[in-house]
Structure 1
Amino acid sequence: MSHLIRKSVQAMSGYVPGEQPKDAGIVKLNTNENPYLPSPDVQDILSMIDIAVLSRYPDPVCMELRKVIAELHGCAVENVFVGNGSDEVLALCIRSFVERDGSVGYFDPSYSLYPVLADIEDVEKRPVSLDAAYGWQMPADYSASLFFLTNPNAPTSLRYAKADVEPFVDGFDGVVLIDEAYADFADENCMDLALGKNNVLVGRTLSKSYSLAGIRLGYCVGNAELIGAMFKIKDSYNVNYLTQEIARVAVLDQDTMKANVSAIVETREMVAEKLMELGLSVLKSQTNFLWVKPLGIKAKTLFEELRKKKIIVRYFGNDERTKDYLRVTVGTAPEMFKFLDAVEAIVNGGA
């Protein structure tokens, strides 16, 4: 059957999403989901929806949702694109801004979907290796058609200063998508660059700070011509009616989002401090997860021992640059105390 499949697809490795265990009693800290309930307005809007509307196609351009997002960021509706999760936004950026002989750049390590999306479109990948402390320095004479600049970065949890990002985008000839999936957990963001630079888009998601990973809603903000290009090639009805309505009321309720973010940040700092007291190394996180390096025990061993205790974290063992770390989502305070107790028992027990 191989002759029926594109050669580039045969050769590529697909994206591997985080595990979604269904076992009862699991403490799930592996996919950076938000442990708190979304806005109560989400429940209200669901109870008010007339199921008769589901027999009709949804608004193909998500106008009411885009108006709310535009108001949030102080821009025009024409500066907003809404997608079926941020993953669709990223894919459409490659299809919109990269010629067949073009290239896609991104940090290494970073979001592992980027190279997969480039492989799907069969375009050149131009990763930029981060240094030993996960800092970034662009190689001399670097160029690409599109650069995915993840800020804060995943899986490292680090934020890069806008003062460093701005000169890069000013000197870059292609399009820069600043992927700000975790921006609400950080103390700085680059949204103003998207509103002031012709070659910059900023991507956001409702999966993290808004507690809505299940509805698959992402968006980007930027130059109206770039946004218009994405609208030309998107699927005809790419965001379903329920998602549009849920997202609209959630974005309007900034108070709930900010309260949930505040709780996560407070727990994040507490857990980081406790882990360091236990002798583990923890990078200064600006996200809803921690990038943790065990000392005196291998990361893989700690991952496996936690799993025995029904605590699931993320281990990226297939990469030399990440194999010594674990990525730990910040859950509720009770979940994190259970995690800390387990880590202490394993470390002290010499597992």
Structure 2
Amino acid sequence: MDEAAPRTRKRKAVTIYDVAKRAHVSIKTVSMVLNNLPAVKAETRARVQDAIDALAYHPNQLARGLASHRSFMLGLFCDGNAIGSNYIARIQMEILKTCQKEGYHLVIEYVEPSSPNLARQVQSLMVQSDLAGGILTPPLSEHDGLIEALKHTDTPIARYSPERSMPGFIDVDMDNVQAGYDMAALLLSLGHRRIGFVHGEYDHADARARFAGFRRAMAEWKVPVDESLCLPGEFTYKSGMDAGDVLLSLPERPTAILAANDDMAAGVLAASLRFNLRVPEDLSIAGFDDSLFSQAMWPRLTICRQPLTEMTEAVVAALIRNEGVEPAAMVFPHKVIVRQSTAAPAEARF
């Protein structure tokens, strides 16, 4: 007769009572530490945290919310067409990291911006999930119908890169016009005069702003903008590669190409290989955002870094403090980072 397989004993879940007992404090004190409330001595807080770590305690978010009459969940709403975008992926990762530090969970929903039921869909998701706050990424962050509908909710809403700040919303952005200006000025200062520009979708405010900054720099340097060198893109690798194919097929191709994000700049770089061009010896390429993608490729991309970590920390902190009642527009500084993908044009080096 075969022996019966030994039964595995299910591990008993660690509770807040276990943490309190190990730390020699009350349950109320543990709750205050979990909710990051200030009225706990540093020594006591450290003892409670040591107990939490030792027991590998994870609070039950539903019970935690019921006990404190608060929700500990934030909702991130993204354009369903942007799946695979390095920009959106980085925002998601930064919010997840920040939520984890603050003891919150994140619900991610992809929605279709052109859907006639968009506003109702987002409102329904927010109510059903009992969210403590909602976060909108472009182009949802400036969708008129959605914004109008969310004005009338009691849930604080944060928006990334809206074209204009609005009362009642937490808005974070960088100065995209100045960023576009600074990147164009960098290429102009290297000696480039025939500069291509691949801009993003027209329904993205930051795409329009970066292009406006590019035009302003060209005007100040008294270099005419050649409209045949300014092509639309979709913030995707493929659209950058397609634009690169067009620009590099011209009888007089540009000596530098500035793309409105890293993904499109990487696509331009791929196109340059098909034309047997050396970067930056034959062609300079630059982009925006500073994704891991831009740092991993070779040559590494010269970019304008968008401070997404700082922006995200501010967004999550404001939502947790429920500061969406008054206007709260925050503009964060960008940084131009010169890497190996840009240099003076060939004719300027002799």
Bucket of the pairwise TM-score, normalised by the shorter protein: 0.3 to 0.5
Name which one, 1 or 2, has greater alpha-carbon Rg.
2
Tell me the TM-score normalised to structure 1 length: 0.32
Tell me the TM-score normalised to structure 2 length: 0.32
